[in-house]
Amino acid sequence: MAATGKLSERIARRPWYKWYALSVLTLVYASSQVDRQIMGMVLEPIKQDLGASDTAMGFLVGLTFALFYATLGMPIAMFADRSHRRNIVTAAITIWSAMTVACGYAANFLQLALARIGVGVGEAGSTPPSHSIISDLFPTQTRGTAMGIFALGVNLGLLIAYLGGGWLVDNVGWRMTFVAVGVPGLAIAALLYLTTIEPERGASDARPPMPGEGAPPFRQVWAHMWRVRSIRHSTIGAALAGFIGYGFVLWMPTFLIRSHGLSPSEVGIALALLTGVVGGLGTFTAGRLADTLARRDERWRAWVVAAGKGGYVPFLAAVFLVDDLWWALGLYVIPAFFGGFYLAPTFALVQGLVSLRMRALASSIVLFILNIIGLGFGPQLVGVMSDLFADAYGQESLRMSLLVLSFLNLWCALHYYLAGRHLPRDQAAQTAAAG
């Protein structure tokens, strides 16, 4: 163990280490997204096998996971602000990978729901500590770009879940699909533990933590985040973006199967290219563009999201208004590019407006709101609306449910516009408080 520690410390002294550590954390994030989003590919086979309704499946892929994932994220983040973040992330990926494998051995709906809860428990300990580590590795000027690279884990995970998941479902069934996507996470956990180290807090900031400076209590962090209006509006915007995004990510495969007659493999290829590749370009572009435009005007750290989320609404709505498959897929290129536009700018903005020992908890609070509202109720609402529309629209009830959901992006864009308006004043206040 001592030899391993010396090895990782030698690696950490290299100029490229921060990029290596960011790459490993991005791989961890991608693993979490594979284990989470694979549900979109197996949803229809599980529904047929277990005889569940769309409402029940919405509960399985949404609230069952989100309630434990979001709620446990905050106490784990509070621990991370006081403790060893790399070890927390290592334990988290080990838990969620093992529980994903357990999903493949569930004998009924209840056991599957319990296994998904276990996945949520594991994933609760990953992202907030990762955000905190990244903020200690990269200064404010390049933090948006770094967060953009980290956020690519979403698209990389979707690429693997869609492309590999579609083939696996067709060839080995939904049960072995869970096993196949869960096992690699254990190897990634070992890579993280053996080749990275815990960074010094505040290493990339102008002011390191003062001697004896402790992490503030939850109430103080929450009060600060509510008081800072740019954080408040960007958090609400992120919750709405997650509500929409998770609704589409987890139900689009089923929509393409039901309304356009594609097989799981065909769906996997189509969505891997759109959400994985095109979406990945958009996710990275958002962080990079926010850093670039912010050199002229800091408000663009939020306004890039407002422009992206508001501008793609006509294209997204049109996807569900056309009957031709190729037109639908062509139109979906624009929503796929802008779908994850909010991720990097939101977390970079929040990390820059809280103190050093608030970072993991602040990130977890944003994730709690995003996931309880977004992951918890987005897919659930789509399933409920689909069942409600069934009498009027039959097989196309899911199409109409997703069409209604697309217009919520305008509400999301409004909050990011307001966040940008308040950002310069909030940054000045944060600088004065830290000085």
Residue type present at position 331: L
Q: Helix (H, G, I), strand (E, B), or coil: what is residue 139?
A: coil
Asked if 97 and 33 count as a contact pair (C-beta separation under 8 A), the reply is no
| pTM (predicted TM-score) | 0.73
List b or e across 100-120, with b for residues whose CB sees 16 or more CB atoms inside 10 angstroms: bbbbbebeebeebbebbbbbb
Main-chain phi, psi angles of 81, to 5 degrees? -70, -10
List b or e across 326-340, with b for residues whose CB sees 16 or more CB atoms inside 10 angstroms: eebbebbbbbbbbbb
Please state, in angstroms and as integers, the Cα–Cα distance from residue 344 to each residue in 14, 113, 139, 284, following that order. 26, 31, 14, 8
Residue closest to 293 by CA, chosen among 281, 305, 283: 305
DSSP state of 104: T
Q: Helix (H, G, I), strand (E, B), or coil: what is residue 340?
A: coil
Residue closest to 241 by CA, chosen among 344, 384, 166: 344
Q: Which of 3.40.1790.10, 1.20.1250.20, 3.30.230.30, 3.50.30.30 would CATH assign to domain 2-201+216-434? A: 1.20.1250.20
- pLDDT per residue of the chain (435 residues) written in tens, 0 to 9: 444 455 455 555 677 888 999 999 999 999 998 988 788 778 778 887 877 777 777 777 777 777 777 778 778 878 877 888 899 999 999 999 999 999 889 888 888 888 888 888 888 888 888 988 888 888 877 887 888 888 888 888 888 887 888 788 888 888 899 999 999 999 999 999 988 888 887 666 655 555 555 668 888 888 988 999 999 999 999 999 999 988 887 788 889 988 998 887 888 888 888 887 888 888 888 888 888 898 888 899 999 999 999 999 999 999 999 999 999 999 999 999 998 889 888 988 888 888 777 877 888 888 888 878 887 788 888 888 998 998 888 889 999 999 999 999 999 999 999 999 999 998 888 777 665
Separation CA 172–CA 41 (nearest Å): 13
Instruction: Give me the pLDDT at residue 332, please.
Output: 93
Q: Where are the domains of the chain?
A: 2-201+216-434
